[in-house]
Structure formats: C-alpha cells, structure tokens
Amino acid sequence: MERTYTVSHVNKTISLLAAAGLGLMVSAAAVSADLNKAIEERLKPVGELCMSGDDCAAAPVAAAAAEPRSGAQVYETKCFTCHASGAAGAPKLGDAADWSNRVGKGIDTLYTNAISGFNGMPAKGLCMDCSDDEIKAAVDHMVDGSK
C-alpha cells in the first residue's frame, strides 16, 4: 500500500511543527527573562535594594560602643588565641623572653607591626572591628603583662 502525501498534508505538517517550535521559543524566552530578572535582583548592590528610611529598611543597627575597649578586653576576646599559646610564633603573654627583643625595637614598632601585620601575624590580628587605638591598648596590655 502506497501512501501519497499531498502538498496540503506537507504544508499542514510544516505549519504544525513551526507553531510548536515557535511556542517553545516563546516559552523559553519567557523563562529566560524571568531567570535574568531574578539574577539581576540578586546581583544588585545593597544600596539599590533598600535604602535607609525606606519602608523595606530593617531596624537600624546599634551604634558601636561609645567607649573603646580596654587592652585587656581586646586581648581576652581577640589576641588570646595566638598570644596565649604562641601559635605561629606569637610572643606569649607573661613570657619576658618572648617579648624582650620585640620591646627593644621600640613601642612604635610594636604598634606598627600589630596594626599592619608582621611575619605570621595578619593585620590587626584579624580583629577588623578593632580601632588602631584598641590594638595599641592590647599591645600595651601584653607588654605590661610580660615584664
């Protein structure tokens, strides 16, 4: 049995396939647009998402403490990890021998090294919420406790 296809059958088949393909393309474009919009929203800089004073803004963050932390407070919460054990060559609190050569270079050198980092110690000992004055107070605390 031989099938014969007329031009009409071929045109209808081509039209159906074209319509299906067009429908898929439109659907894909819509999905792609939604995905692009979602990605753009996630990549916006914070300032463009919600500005201070806008209805969407969260409660204001509490201001930093009015008074700086003492050297002892900074040592106990930040410096203790390395300076109590001597990790990465850190001079230990209370060990005069560990501190003598360092103190001999002058307090300003100690401050600079503590703030900027030196050898195994990263800048500010990774205490990025410490002010320079708080770092200096921590250095003073460790030097005074190691004489």
Which pLDDT belongs to residue 15? 78
The CATH code that applies to domain 71-144 is: 1.10.760.10
Which pLDDT belongs to residue 106? 95
Coil, helix or strand at residue 121: strand
Which pLDDT belongs to residue 41? 74
Residues with pLDDT less than 50, the chain: none
Which pLDDT belongs to residue 88? 86
Q: How many other CB atoms are there within 10 angstroms of residue 92's CB atom? A: 17
Which pLDDT belongs to residue 35? 72
Which pLDDT belongs to residue 62? 53
Q: Determine the angle formed by the axes of helices 107-116 and 132-144, rounding to 10 degrees.
A: 130
Which pLDDT belongs to residue 147? 87
Class of residue 37 by CB neighbours under 10 A (exposed 0-12, middle 13-18, buried 19+): exposed
What does pTM read for this prediction? 0.57
